[in-house]
Amino acid sequence: MHRNSFVRAPEVLDPLLRLRGSGNCFLAGQLCGVEGYVESTAMGLVAAIHLATLLSGTLPSPWPRETTLGGLLAYLQESPPDHFQPINCHLGLFPSLERRIKSRGERCLAVAARSRDALERFLSENPLAEEGEGLLGA
C-alpha cells in the first residue's frame, strides 16, 4: 500500500490550477487532487495550456463542464474542502443528460458524444488549447 500526497484543491487552488495568491505557481498531477495516470497527465496538460494562455496575454477560458477535463476541474473547485479526496474520471463528474437513458452503454455513448461536441467547440474558440488537440483526444 502507498500513500498519495495531495492538496485540498478547493481550498488552495484557483480555477487555473495555481496556488491561490501565488501568481504563477501551478500544481498538476496527483498533487492537485486527481487520481489515475491519465487524469494526472491531463491536469499537467491543462496547467501547461493555462500557463501558455496567460503568457500570451489572455485569460484562459473555463473548460466545458460536459468534458472530462471540465468535470475534473469543477470537482477540484467545488468539493467540500474538509472532506476532499482525490478522484478519477467517472460518469458522476458530468452534468445529467437532458433525457434519462437506462442502458449504461447507451448513456456512456451519449455522454461521450456531448463531451466531444463541447470539446470541439471549446478548441475552436481557444487557439492555444487547440494546439494540444491531439493530446486531448478530440
* pTM (2 d.p.): 0.87
Helix 37-55 / helix 68-78 crossing angle, nearest 10 deg: 90
Q: What is the mean pLDDT of each run of 10 residues along the chain (138 residues)?
A: 85 96 91 95 94 90 96 96 94 94 94 96 80 46
- The answer to whether 76 and 13 are in contact (CB under 8 A) is yes
Q: d(Cα 81, Cα 8) in Å, to the nearest integer? A: 6
Structure letter (DSSP) for residue 117: H
pLDDT at 22: 87
- Which domains does the chain possess? 9-136 (3.50.50.60)
pLDDT at 137: 45
pLDDT at 107: 95
Q: d(Cα 124, Cα 129) in Å, to the nearest integer? A: 9
